[in-house]
Every structure is written in C-alpha cells, then in structure tokens.
C-alpha cells in the first residue's frame, strides 16, 4: 500500500446569498494505486458534504468545490516534507494566505 496526499477545496454557501466561505483541507489516503486513492477520496468527500441551519437559522451547505491535487506522499528517508506544490506569483499568494501577515 502507498500513501497519497489530496488537497481539497470546500465551499460553504448560505441560503441568504451571503459571501461564501472556503476551506482547504489536506487528506491522507492509503491505497494500492493513484486510481484507488482517487476513488477512496471521492467516497470520503461524498459522505462529508453536509447541510445544516446555523445559530442564526440560515441554511448552510458545504460542498466540494474542487479537488486541487492528489499525489504520492513525499516523506521518505531523504526528506521531511509530506507534500509540495509550486507557484510563481508571490503577490497572489500573499493576498490569499492570511497567516503571512498574522491575520486570520
């Protein structure tokens, strides 16, 4: 069995049309192939989608917006990293990542 890492983007929509909230999750999967890992992830995510009423009585629905990436787990004897992705636009990353400036 091999380990895989999947990055999943979720979206929460409110029934009142309020601005969506997004969540990025990292999933660890154990499978014999990439295809099996993809199927396992699909089954897991389908079961996790949910809808409920929040404290204000508004309908909130969490759905998978997109599976951003799925790849073999990197950790082995040569690295401590478990996942790696690359980008070119530092300004876009700064605008996206609230933890860079300490705000959340």
Give the whole-angstrom CA distance, residue 72 versus residue 83: 8
Backbone φ/ψ region at 17: left (φ over 0), alpha (ψ -120 to 50), beta:
left
State yes or no: pLDDT of 76 exceeds 90: no
State yes or no: pLDDT of 62 exceeds 90: yes
pTM: 0.76
For 62, list phi and psi in degrees, rounded to 5.
-100, 125
Instruction: Yes or no: say if 7 and 67 are a contact pair by the CB < 8 Å rule.
Output: yes
């Amino acid at each position: 069995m091999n380990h895989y890492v999947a990055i999943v983007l979720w979206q929460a929509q409110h029934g009142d049309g309020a601005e969506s909230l997004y969540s990025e999750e990292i999933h660890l999967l154990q499978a014999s192939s990439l295809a099996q890992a993809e199927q396992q992830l699909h089954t897991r995510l389908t079961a996790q989608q949910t809808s409920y009423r929040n404290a204000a009585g508004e309908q909130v629905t969490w759905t998978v917006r997109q599976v951003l990436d799925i790849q073999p787990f990197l950790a082995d004897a040569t690295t401590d990293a478990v996942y790696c992705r690359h980008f070119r636009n530092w300004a876009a990353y700064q605008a996206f990542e609230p933890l860079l400036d300490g705000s959340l």
